Amino acid sequence: MTGEDSPRARVKGRRALVTGGSGGIGTAIVEGLASEGADVAVQWYRNRAEADRMVEVVRKFDQEGIAVQADVLDSKSVIAMRDTLHEEFGKVDTLINCAGINRDSIFHRMTDAQWDEVINVNLSGVFHCCRAFVEEITASGHGRIVNISSLVGEMGNIGQVNYAASKSGMIGFAKALARELAAKRTTVNVVAPGFIDTPMVRKIPDGVKDKILNQIPMGRFGTPHEVAMSVIYLVSPEADYVTGAVLNVNGGMYL
Ligand code: NAP
């Protein structure tokens, strides 16, 4: 069964760009969008092989897919990505900002480089991507932007002042842009995942992992699929009237 023929083709006809589409959560979002009827451009930074693999997954659903390289912290690189997409894929109506990094350190040892890199990729990257694509997204008359933030942006976390600031910033950014774009029938929302079972979380030492699990009322980490399904909802027509919202996907860890 193809993505478009699926009885659950909730995002049928959409053309989406997923930044960080080669990552743990991004790959689930790419697959989710394609399985629900969207064509998907998969942005990668260093992991071309994973982006190429995701393009194959998209095509298995009979949707159009393309892998495209960009460094989101560099606005010129983002413009070049847009030019490539215009030539080889077409214009997009949906942007999922999922590219992100962490460079953790307790505050008094945090370096300028750790601060700058995280703010520049996670927050300025969202600015660069939204600015590059906003014209075509709003011109579609049914635009969608979803920022993948984090519960750390809502509740803070030891060793993550830079990451928390960037992820909080993504929320304020989305709320302001939601107000600007509402009249153009474009929604801007945030998904704030808690601890999700990805390579990022698997790297946490076992003792620390147990302490985190004790703080999650549902007693388990989330899955990338669960994050992806929240994104699908916000992109679907079911969420036409939802904008400026923060959808927590965290097992009750932050309410
Ligand atoms: P991940 O597997 O490390 O994926 C990160 C993605 O960002 C990769 O696709 C990577 O591309 C891309 N990327 C990194 N630097 C980039 C740059 N300068 N320009 C463009 N792309 C860049 O991480 P993840 O766990 O899937 O996380 C995805 C998003 O969810 C992040 O924004 C993260 O903050 C957020 N999040 C994750 C969790 C969690 O528990 N995992 C929880 C809350 C929020 P390449 O691999 O191609 O280099």
47-65 pLDDT, tens per residue?
999 999 999 999 999 999 9
DSSP 39: E
Residue 206 to residues 117, 156, 159, 202, Cα–Cα distance (Å):
27, 21, 17, 9
Domains contained in the chain, number: 1
CATH number for position 72: 3.40.50.720
Mean pLDDT of the chain: 96
pLDDT, average across residues 74-84: 98
In this prediction, residue 6 has a pLDDT band, given cuts at 50, 70 and 90, of: low
- Residue 1 forms part of a structural domain: no
The SS3 call for residue 246 is strand
Q: Give Rg (Cα) of the chain.
A: 17
Give the C-alpha separation, 27 to 21, whole Å: 5
Among 198, 202, 215, 227, the mutation site with the greatest number of ligand 1 atoms within 8 A of its Cβ is 198
Query: Would the pLDDT of 193 be above 90?
Result: yes
- Residue 22 forms part of a structural domain: yes
pTM over 0.95: yes
Tell me the pLDDT tens digit for each residue of 93-143.
999 999 999 999 999 999 999 999 999 999 999 999 999 999 999 999 999
The SS3 call for residue 148 is strand
Query: Would the pLDDT of 3 be above 60?
Result: no
Query: Would the pLDDT of 8 be above 90?
Result: no
Question: Residue 4: what pLDDT?
Answer: 53
Question: Residue 230: what pLDDT?
Answer: 98
The SS3 call for residue 249 is strand
- Residue 2 forms part of a structural domain: no
Query: Would the pLDDT of 188 be above 60?
Result: yes
Q: Which residues belong to the active site?
A: 163
Give residues (CB < 6 A) around ligand 1.
19-20, 22-26, 44-47, 70-73, 98-101, 121, 148, 150, 193, 195-196, 198-201
Angle between helices 24-35 and 224-235 (to 10 degrees): 50
- Residue 108 forms part of a structural domain: yes
Tell me the pLDDT tens digit for each residue of 206-229.
998 999 999 999 999 999 999 999
Structural domain containing residue 219: 15-249
How many angstroms is it from 48 CA to the middle of ligand 1? 14
Among 19, 44, 45, the mutation site with the greatest number of ligand 1 atoms within 8 A of its Cβ is 45
Describe the chain by its helix, strand, coil percentages, rounded to 5. 50, 15, 35
Angle at 130 between CA 30 and CA 70, to 5 degrees: 60
Nearest ligand 1 atom to the CA of 125 is 19
- Residue 188 forms part of a structural domain: yes
- Residue 212 forms part of a structural domain: yes
Q: 185 with 239: CB under 8 angstroms?
A: no
247 contact partners, CB below 8 Å, separation of at least 6? 189, 190, 191, 192, 230, 233, 234
- Residue 152 forms part of a structural domain: yes
How many angstroms is it from 1 CA to the middle of ligand 1? 30
Structure tokens at 67: 């892998």
Question: Residue 2: what pLDDT?
Answer: 56
β partners of residue 17: 41, 95
Structure tokens at 126: 């969202």
**Closest-CA residue to 43 (of 114, 133, 117):** 133
- Residue 6 forms part of a structural domain: no
